[in-house]
């Protein structure tokens, strides 16, 4: 069974050895990106937790930001129109420019995440779907707590293997803003060192994370997405 994902967030965290972060150098990165309409950030802010390049929210809750700290670059696109290909292009170009400008020779580790909404085909209430279909014992299994259940979900971690050199974390929860929708999050962690000149290769890590969502995660959900008996 296949689903049509409604992706609501992409994120990336590119880790490097600690450096002395200078705001004027990050300002030059902002200026260079501003000249490229597909990569530009409108705002530049220096705060205690780092230097932030951001775009104004298009809708309430939307986020478009690149954060620079002494040991990592964090990019987030949330509740904005953004495909996996567009986010890969942003990550590769922003991180590549930043590493060269900051004098960072390599990335030590990388983390990518994606969050999507899907609608089960045979169930209209995702909370009931998770409680009754995906968790053994159903809602009756929580009777020992003697109080109403507000929310629930499933969290799974898949460690590295000889074949798959990454760690994948999966969360499945009902989406509180729409009872029909199931909220899915996959976080992929990669520990290989990547030289700055090879940073375009890290887009493969993003695609691996996204394929984990649209492949085995969807297959797992579909096991339970059957007509209620």
Q: What is the mean pLDDT of each successive set of 10 residues along the chain, which is 229 residues long?
A: 90 98 97 96 96 95 97 98 97 98 98 97 93 82 81 94 92 95 98 96 97 97 90
**pLDDT value at position 140?**
76
Separation of CA 224 from chain center: 24
Asked, for residue 229, whether it belongs to a domain, the answer is no
**pLDDT value at position 139?**
72
d(CA 187, CA 161): 16
Cα angle vertex 205, ends 43, 158, to 5°? 115
- Reference 221, options 188, 189, 213, 113; nearest CA is 213
Total domain count, the chain? 1
pTM of the model: 0.94
**pLDDT value at position 54?**
98
* CB-based contact 87:10 (threshold 8 Å): yes
Strands (E), the chain: 6-15, 43-47, 50-54, 63-69, 72-78, 106-107, 109-118, 154-158, 167-174, 182-190, 194-195
Asked, for residue 138, whether it belongs to a domain, the answer is yes
**pLDDT value at position 115?**
98
Asked, for residue 129, whether it belongs to a domain, the answer is yes
103: left (phi over 0), alpha (psi -120 to 50) or beta: left
Q: Are strands 194-195 and 72-78 parallel, antiparallel or unpaired?
A: unpaired
Range of the domain at 78: 6-224
């Amino acid at each position: 069974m296949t689903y049509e994902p409604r992706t609501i967030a992409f994120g990336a965290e590119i880790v490097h050895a600690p450096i002395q972060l200078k705001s004027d150098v990050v300002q030059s990165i902002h200026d260079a990106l501003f000249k490229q309409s597909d990569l530009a950030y409108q705002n530049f802010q220096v705060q205690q937790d780092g230097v932030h390049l951001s775009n104004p929210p298009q809708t309430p809750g939307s986020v478009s930001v690149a954060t620079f700290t002494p040991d990592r670059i964090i990019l987030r696109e949330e509740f904005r129109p953004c495909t996996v290909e567009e986010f890969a292009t942003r990550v590769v170009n922003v991180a590549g420019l930043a590493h060269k400008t900051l004098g960072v020779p390599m990335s030590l580790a990388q983390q990518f995440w994606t969050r999507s909404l899907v609608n089960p085909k045979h169930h209209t209430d995702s909370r009931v779907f998770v409680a009754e279909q995906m968790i053994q014992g159903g809602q009756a299994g929580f009777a020992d707590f003697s109080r109403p259940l507000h929310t629930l979900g499933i969290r799974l971690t898949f460690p590295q293997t000889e074949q798959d050199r990454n760690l994948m974390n999966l969360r499945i929860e009902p989406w509180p803003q729409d009872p029909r929708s199931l909220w899915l999050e996959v976080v992929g962690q990669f520990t290989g060192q990547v030289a700055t000149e090879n940073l375009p290769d890290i887009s493969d890590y993003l695609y691996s994370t996204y394929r984990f969502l649209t492949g085995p995660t969807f297959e797992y959900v579909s096991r339970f997405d059957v007509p209620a008996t």
